[in-house]
Amino acid sequence: MSERQIQLEVLRYNPETDSEPRFQTYSVPCEAEWVVLDALNYVKDHLDTTLSYRWSCHMAVCGSCGMMINGEPTLSCKAFLRDYPDTIRVEPLVHFPIERDLVTVIDDFMEKLNRVKPYLIPKEARTIAEGEYRQSPAELKRFKQYTLCINCMLCYSACPEYGLIPDFIGPAAIALAHRYNSDSRDGGREQRQQVIATKEGVWECSFVGACSEVCPKHVDPAAALQQVKIASTVDWYKEHLMPWGKS
Amino acid sequence: MMEKIQTDVAIVGAGGAGLRAAIALAEADPKLRISLISKVYPMRSHTCAAEGGAAGVIKPDDSMDLHFNDTVGGGDWLCDQDAVEYFIKEAPKELTQLEHWGCPWSREADGSVAVRPFGGMKIKRTWFAADKTGFHLLHTLFQTSLKYPSIQRFDEHYATDLLVDAGRCQGLTAIEMRSGQLRQFQAKAVIITTGGAGRMFPFTTNGAIKTGDGMAMAYRAGVSLKDMEFVQYHPTGLPNTGILLTEGCRGEGGILVNKHNYRYLQDYGMGPETPIGQPVLKTMELGPRDRLSQAFWHEQKKGNTVPTPWGDCVLLDMRHLGEKLIDERLPFVRELATSYLQKDPVHEPIPIRPVVHYMMGGIHTDINAATVLPGLFAAGECACVTINGANRLGSNSLTELLVFGKRAALSAVEYIGSGVTPNDAAITKQAERVQGRIRTLFEKSGGTESISGLRKEMTDSMEEHAGIYRTAEGLQSACAKIGELRLRYADIELHDKTNVYNTDLLQALELGAMLDCAEAVAVGALERKESRGAHQRLDFEARDDQNYLKHTLAHYHPNEPPRIEYLDVVITKSQPSVRDYSGAKK
């Protein structure tokens, strides 16, 4: 199999020994069909065991290995070397504190995810003996796309608003709130609106759409945010201009 | 001073089984203090990679007996039948529970949950969420778990040792990866839900985190590992990466052909050939995983496989399914094959080969998910109840982690109701010994062995000698090699001597766990002188119910091979018989 020599410029930062981040370059012999993650694993196994990064599934579903690759938020397990020049720069996802090397601190997202109540708040209670809720394929289709988020954080790195205003709840968490709001079995929209139809919620979004461009699962969080904006505008009109219209 | 965390139940592993257990505990008693400990964030757990579906009897034409027979026959009669009966009875309730928590199951036109056919099943029984069932199941459980404030998560904590005093498990130690500090969890009960150990093989569908940590932790604490020699090869992996293409591909009608474009499965007791696009249950491509993987091996020996840059393959042809069905039911398969192999299943056959997928064996547990060590429970792939026997039926594992995750939680609640409390002085002393051992590994200099070097020798040996077909000679060589590697492990030197997110240290600990598990596989396989399910011996080709209708129990020894014992299989209503996958003949 053909081998190609890649220069991997990797951001290194160890809070115990480094006062600030630095770049370290590794020369890596690569197979044609490798992804950037394979090159990092080569470094870890053969060149430098001190390099730290997260990864697991190597099939773009666990969401661990998001990184900046040549400046773009990307899953390193899906960044095929065939699409890159011979020098590749790898950095931790931006807008997150660096814990170590390519490992970021994602506490902020975990807290925000919790805040949007991303679980079914049933419209009608149902016992197990009564069987499943009925949901037509069309009803499923209404929210299915928003269930596909793997929490990889690429959208938070791509989002200019999140970079400027860290309080912004952000694309993935709002898309998940919208996923449950749009589920025919759910009755918790009002509870979630209190969190997402707010200044730190959807109204912080300036609809740049970068989140949807980098999403490896085509969740299209930008569309979710716009749908929430429209729905909450309708809510506002119903409440303030047509009080009789409130259901 | 080492930080101590007081808790009622500590769960190690936050994948499907661990999350299900945590939720069951929180629902059983909101006052319980629950610690959910995982070396990764819950949504990174390998449950997310499961694709095809979860089995549970729900449709009127199906029955508990049919699911029982498929499971027990599929497992080549090594399943404990009382456990299978319990599992099958609970399965539909658990899958319905997941539906009530919001899992986006695929639907029939009338709004009921849809089912698809899977290998080794007499009837369609697999609930599915397109071809990302494990992913949806994991995220549904994780998101649901956020409702319960009593579930306290310890993400990115690597559990190292169980703390055992007076014959009871009373907690564990874990390294907080962010600080590198060892923490002591003092618990009334511990549940292990850490999944499998597929990374002991070089070519596997398993993610990097599947290193058998929990199995090894229980094993070293004196709980035996059961039936470890039964390692399932999934017949359809992408040849370059080992990425799984779900059994759903064949369930929906995909066919397997050799280089002569011939559906070779008909030559291995799974024929006669069925019409293309009209799959027949329990026949041809819908045979069980062990038989399909073994058929590949024979085709390769006969020279009927297709050579590729990544080794010999056969072809999975799905073109006749059409783009619409593939996009609706197998979208992930299309995405994976197209990006990782640059072959689109809509337009061309996909080269595939068998790949290590699942451990039927694991921590020896009983029908209540309890181990022989009071206070210790286990569920999911890391455990061996066993409902899977010698070969797991596809789509039973997702259901298993729900049923037995919940079972482990209820058993733990019952156990702590008896008023057990951890003995602080005794287990703190143990935790300090653990700290000393890790510090020695950490600070040691002058070591001559590398982690990646030893790992490669281990995986090469396992692939060569403990794969689809095995011999005494090969297994002896694997046992010798693993034994040697366990000794050489003492000569590892870490190059990273810092604390924060030290993956050098973590990989060293993971390698130690894999070596212990690998030895149990190799020794168990050498001692089992018969062929059954996923364990095939070229020197003992027949199943031997006289001597081996028994579970293997491997008992740990720190510097010698495990001691092997056997335990009778529980048989309630199905006597061992012939496995028949030629349904079309009847």
Domains and CATH numbers, chain A: 3-104 (3.10.20.30), 107-245 (1.10.1060.10)
Q: Residues of A87-104 as b/e, b for ≥16 C-beta within 10 angstroms?
A: ebbbbbbebbebbbbbbb
The C-alpha atoms of residue B333 and residue B317 are separated, in whole angstroms, by 12
Which pLDDT belongs to residue A153?
Answer: 98
Choose, out of B41, B339, B492, B499, the residue to mutate when testing the contact with A (most A CBs < 10 Å). B41
β pairing state of B550-555 and A3-12: unpaired
Residues in chain A closer than 8 A to B105 (CB atoms)? 132
Q: Which pLDDT score, from 0 to 100, does residue A243 have?
A: 67
8 Å CB contact of B207 and A16: no
On whether the CB atoms of residues B50 and B255 are closer than 8 A, the answer is: no
Question: How far is it, in rounded angstroms, from Cα B456 to Cα B358?
Answer: 20
Among B403, B399, B468, B344, residue whose Cα is nearest residue B52: B399
Q: How many CB atoms lie within 10 A of CB B251?
A: 27
For residue A12, list chain B residues with Cβ-Cβ distance below 8 A: none
Residues in chain A, how many?
Answer: 247
Nearest to A55 among B147, B208, B450 (CB): B208
Choosing among A36, A59, A141, A152, which should be mutated to test the B contact, i.e. which has the most B CBs within 10 A? Answer: A59
Strand order across the beta sheet in which B550-555 lies:
B383-384, B362-364, B225-226, B550-555, B563-568
- What residues contact residue B481 under an 8 Å CB cut-off, 6+ apart? B457, B458, B461
| Chain-chain contact of A120 with B136 (C-beta, under 8 angstroms) | no
Residue B69: predicted pLDDT: 96
For residue B564, give how far its alpha carbon lies from the nearest alpha carbon of chain A (Å): 33
Q: Does B3-232+358-426 match B233-356 in CATH topology?
A: no
State the architecture of B438-568 in CATH terms: Up-down Bundle (1.20)
Q: How confident is the model at residue B573, as a pLDDT?
A: 96
| Backbone φ and ψ of B162, nearest 5° | -85, 145
| Chain centre to alpha carbon of residue A165 | 17
Q: Select the residue of B342, B451, B500 nearest A99 (Cβ to Cβ).
A: B500
Q: What is the pLDDT of residues B287-336, one digit of tens each?
A: 999 999 999 999 999 999 999 999 999 999 999 999 999 999 999 999 99
Please report the number of interchain residue pairs, chain A to chain B, with beta-carbon separation below 8 angstroms: 154
Name which of A15, A57, A106 is nearest B207 (Cβ-Cβ).
Answer: A57
Taking the C-alpha atoms of residue A152 and residue A56, their distance in angstroms, rounded to an integer, is 12
- Find the residue in B nearest to A112 (Cα): B146
Q: What is the pLDDT of residue A242?
A: 75
Q: What is the ipTM, given to two decimal places?
A: 0.96
Cβ atoms within 10 Å of B409's Cβ, excluding its own: 30
Looking at CA atoms only, how far is residue B248 from chain A in angstroms? 17
Map residue B89 onto helix, strand or coil: helix
**Interface contact A147-B504, CB threshold 8 A:** no
Q: Give B176-232 as a DSSP string.
A: ETTTTEEEEEEEEEEEE-----GGGSSSBSS-TT-S-HHHHHHHHTTPPEESTT-EE
Low-confidence spans in chain B with pLDDT less than 70:
583-586
Contact B26, B144 (CB under 8 A): no
**Terminal CA-to-CA distance of chain A, rounded, Å?**
66
The CB-based long-range contact list for B479-482 (8 Å cut-off, 24+ gap) reads: B479/B519, B479/B522, B479/B523, B479/B526, B479/B561, B481/B457, B482/B458, B482/B515, B482/B518, B482/B519, B482/B522
The DSSP-derived string for A64-80 is --EEEETTEEEEGGG-B
- % of chain A beyond a pLDDT of 90: 89
Tell me the shortest Cα–Cα distance from B151 to chain A, in angstroms. Answer: 13
A78–B48 C-beta distance less than 8 A: no
What pLDDT shows up at residue A119?
A: 98
pLDDT in tens, B467-493: 999 999 999 999 999 999 999 999 999
pLDDT of residue A2: 60
Residue A134 region by backbone torsions, left for phi larger than 0, else alpha for psi between -120 and 50, else beta: beta
Beta bridge partners of B154: B37
Catalytic residues of B: 234, 250
Q: From CA B42, how far away is CA B40, in angstroms rounded?
A: 6
pLDDT per residue over A183-236, tens digit each?
A: 999 999 999 999 999 999 999 898 889 999 999 999 999 999 999 999 888 888
Residues comprising chain B, all counted: 586
Query: Do residue A53 and residue B503 have CB atoms under 8 angstroms apart?
Result: yes
Nearest CB partner across the interface for A16, out of B111, B309, B500: B500
Residue type, A121: I
Residue B531's nearest CA partner among B518, B519, B546, B548 is B548
- Residues with Cβ within 8 Å of B469's Cβ and at least 6 positions away in sequence, in order, are B294, B297, B536, B537, B538
Nearest to A185 among B48, B102, B504 (CB): B102
- Record: contact B241-A59, CB cut-off 8 A: yes
Q: How far apart are CA B477 and CA B118, in angstroms?
A: 37
Q: Are A33 and B479 in contact (CB under 8 A)?
A: no
Tell me the three state secondary structure of residue B362.
strand
Query: Given a cut of 60, is residue A1 above it in pLDDT?
Result: no
Distance of CA A39 to the CA centre of its chain: 23
Contact A56 B496 (CB under 8 A): no
Q: How far apart are CA A96 and CA B149, in angstroms?
A: 26
B345 phi, psi to nearest 5 deg: -60, -20
Query: Which CATH architecture best describes the domain B233-356?
Result: Alpha-Beta Complex (3.90)
A86, containing H or E segment: none
- Residue B527, number of CB atoms within 10 A of its CB: 17
Coil, strand or helix: which one is A229?
helix
Q: List C-alpha distances in Å: B221 to A37, B7, B179, B218, B362.
A: 35, 20, 26, 5, 14
A 10 A CB-CB count for A73 gives 26
Strand-pair category, B54-55 with B151-154: unpaired
Question: Which of the 8 DSSP states describes residue B48?
Answer: G
**Residue B586: per-residue pLDDT:** 44
Q: Concatenated DSSP letters for B254-278?
A: -EEE-TTS--GGGGGTS-SPPPTT-
A128–B96 CB contact, under 8 Å: yes
Decide the pairing of beta strands B126-127 and B115-116: antiparallel
Distance CA B173, CA B184 (A): 5
Instruction: Sketch the domain layout of chain B as residue ranges.
Output: 3-232+358-426, 233-356, 438-568
Closest CA to B156 of A211, A246, A56, A154: A56
Task: For strands B536-537 and B362-364, give the pairing.
Answer: unpaired
Residues in chain B with CB shorter than 8 Å from the CB of A148 are 132
* Structure-token match 């319960």, residue found: B148
Residue A158 in contact with residue A180, Cβ under 8 Å?
A: no
Average pLDDT over residues A88-114: 98
Contact B544, B529 (CB under 8 A): yes
Tokens of B554: 């491997």
The superfamily in CATH containing domain B3-232+358-426 is FAD/NAD(P)-binding domain (3.50.50.60)
Sequence-distant (6+) residues with CB within 8 A of B394 are B52, B118, B119, B120, B126, B247, B288, B289
Rounded to whole angstroms, the Cα distance separating B509 from A52 reads 15
